[in-house]
Amino acid sequence: MASMKYLPLLIIFFLNGCSIKNYEQTQPKLITIKSPKIKFSDIGYLRNSGDAIELELFSAGVAVEKITINHLICVSSGCMGKAGFNDEYLNHSYPSDTLQNILLAKPIYSAMGIVKKDDGYEQHVKDEAVDIVYKVKNGETSFKDKKNHIIFKIKDTK
C-alpha cells in the first residue's frame, strides 16, 4: 500500500509533459504544413521558452490544432514520444528532434550538409529514405522532403 501514496505524484509528473507553460516568446506566423496526416495553410502562433514549444494553428480565426513540444509531443488526440510522432505524422526515418528544430529554425540532422549563407543557411539531406531541402533565411523557414511529400513553410507575418 506504500506505493499507492506515490501514485498521485507519478500522475502529476506524467501529465506535466503536456501541461500549460508560460512561454517567453509569442510570434504570429504564416504556416503551411503538408504531410500524410496534416494539411494546413493559414495563421499560427508559435510560442516558445528555450526548446519548449507550442504551435497553435488557426483557420478563419478559429483554433483548429495545438501542438506542444517538450520531452513529449502533444496534439489534440494525445501525447506521444517524438519518435512516435514522426512515425505517425511525418516519417519514421527523421531524427526525433526534427519538428522541434524546424519550428525553432535550428539545423536538422545534426547540421549535416549545412551551407552558411549571408542571410541564413541551407541543408540538403538525401539518402534512401529522404530527399530534403531545408532553408532558413530572413524570418522564413522552408522544409521540403521530395521523397516523402512533406512540406513545412513558416514565415514571419511582418
User: Is 12 contained in some domain?
Assistant: no
User: Is 40 contained in some domain?
Assistant: yes
User: Is 5 contained in some domain?
Assistant: no
Query: How far is residue 114's CA from residue 75's CA, in Å, rounded to a whole number?
Result: 30
pLDDT in tens, 15-73: 444 545 577 888 999 999 999 888 999 999 999 998 899 999 998 888 999 999 999 99
Residues 6+ apart with CB under 8 A from 34: 149, 150, 151
**pLDDT attached to residue 9:** 45
Contact present, 88 and 96 (Cβ < 8 Å) = no
CA-derived radius of gyration, the chain: 17
User: Is 76 contained in some domain?
Assistant: yes
Query: How far is residue 49's CA from residue 94's CA, in Å, rounded to a whole number?
Result: 24
pLDDT in tens, 63-110: 999 999 999 999 988 999 999 999 999 999 999 999 999 999 999 999
User: Is 1 contained in some domain?
Assistant: no
Question: Which band of pLDDT confidence, cut at 50, 70 and 90, is reported for residue 3?
Answer: low
Number of domains in the chain: 1
**pLDDT attached to residue 39:** 92
**In CATH, what number is assigned to the domain containing residue 150?**
2.50.20.10
Q: Domain range spanning residue 109? A: 21-156
